[in-house]
Amino acid sequence: MTAAVESGICAGRVVIVTGAGRGLGRAHARAYAAEGARVVVNDLGAALDGSGASGGPAQDVVDEIRAAGGEAVAHCGDVATTAGAASLVRTALETYGGLDTLVNNAGFLRDRMLVNLDEDDWDAVLRVHLKGHFLPLKHAAAHWRAAAKAGRAPHACVVNTSSGAGLSGSVGQGNYSAAKAGILGLTMVAAAELAPYGVRVNAIAPAARTRMTERTFADTMAAPQEGAFDAMAPENVSPLVVWLGSTASSGVTGRVFEAEGGRITVMEGWRPGPSADKAARWSPAEAGGAALELLARAEPPQPVYGAR
C-alpha cells in the first residue's frame, strides 16, 4: 500500500467499510485510505461460518493504514444488529465529523445442498448478508436525510456487495444466493428512495480470492505462478469500489457491476424478453404453448455457478 495522499479522489471523505478485516473489505479499506479517505474499518472478527468474534482483524487493518500514513479507526460491532449498525455510523460521525460513503461488505458462508440446509444456517446467512446491508444503510440514510433537510445536501455514496451467486444462483449456496439476490433488490429500492437526498446507491458482484471463495472455488481461485497477473487478487476489485464511493462517479446510481481481474461489466438485470398477449384469459394448454414459443425466441439463461 502506498502512503495516503491529499490529492486522491477520496481526499477528505469519510468512508465506512464493513467486513474490512480480511479479503475484499481489507483491500477496499486500504485502497480508500490510499486515495485520501478517512476510514472506519468494521469487522466482527468472526470465523468463516460466522462463529466467534475478535477485534484483531479490524485493528490489524487500521494499523496497516496508519503505518502507510493514512487515517483509520476500528469498529468491531455486529452490523446485523440495530445497536451495532447505529454504533458504526456514530463512530464515523464522532471520530471524523461526518460520513460520505458506506461500503457494505460483511458476510460469511454456511454452504449446504438445499435438502441438507438447516433453518439456522439459512437464517444466519441471510442475517449477516441481507440484514447486515439493510441496517447500516438505514442508519447512514437517516443521517444523510437529516442533513439534506437541514440544507446540507450530502454527496453521499453506498456500495453494496452482491455476487455472481445472486445474479445467477450457485449450487450448494441456496441461502447465500438468496441473500445476494436480495441485496440487488435492496440496492434498486435504496437508489430510488435516497436520490432526493443526494445519495447514490450501487452494487458490485465481485469475483476474487477470499476466505469464502478459495475453499468453494479452489481451482479457479488458485494463485498464479510468480510474476503472472493475479486475476483473483481482491485488490483488483477495489479501484471500482473506490471510484463508486467518490464524487467522480456523480450521476451513477442504481447500477450493478461485475468486477473480476481486469474486467468490469455493467449488468443489465431483468429486462422484458419475448411476449405474447391474447387479450383474454389463456387455458392451461394455450398458456403452455405460448410459453414454449416464447422460450424458443428468448435468450438462454446464464449457467448456474457450480453447474458449468
Q: Specify the amino acid at residue 85.
A: A
d(C-alpha 91, C-alpha 59), whole Å: 15
Residue 253: which of 189, 205, 207, 177 has the closest Cα?
189
Residue 18: which of 116, 76, 103 has the closest Cα?
103
For the sheet containing 101-103, what is the strand order?
71-75, 38-42, 14-17, 101-103, 156-161, 199-207, 256-260, 263-267
Max Cα-Cα span within the chain: 70
Q: Is 14 exposed, middle or buried (0-12, 13-18, 19+ CB in 10 A)?
A: buried
Q: Is 28 exposed, middle or buried (0-12, 13-18, 19+ CB in 10 A)?
A: buried
Q: Nearest-5° angle of CA 159, CA 162, CA 166?
A: 155
Query: What are the residue numbers of the active site?
Result: 163, 176, 180
- C-beta separation of 65 from 31 below 8 A: no
Q: Is 45 exposed, middle or buried (0-12, 13-18, 19+ CB in 10 A)?
A: middle
Q: Is 11 exposed, middle or buried (0-12, 13-18, 19+ CB in 10 A)?
A: middle
Which residue in this structure is represented by grid cell 463512530?
91
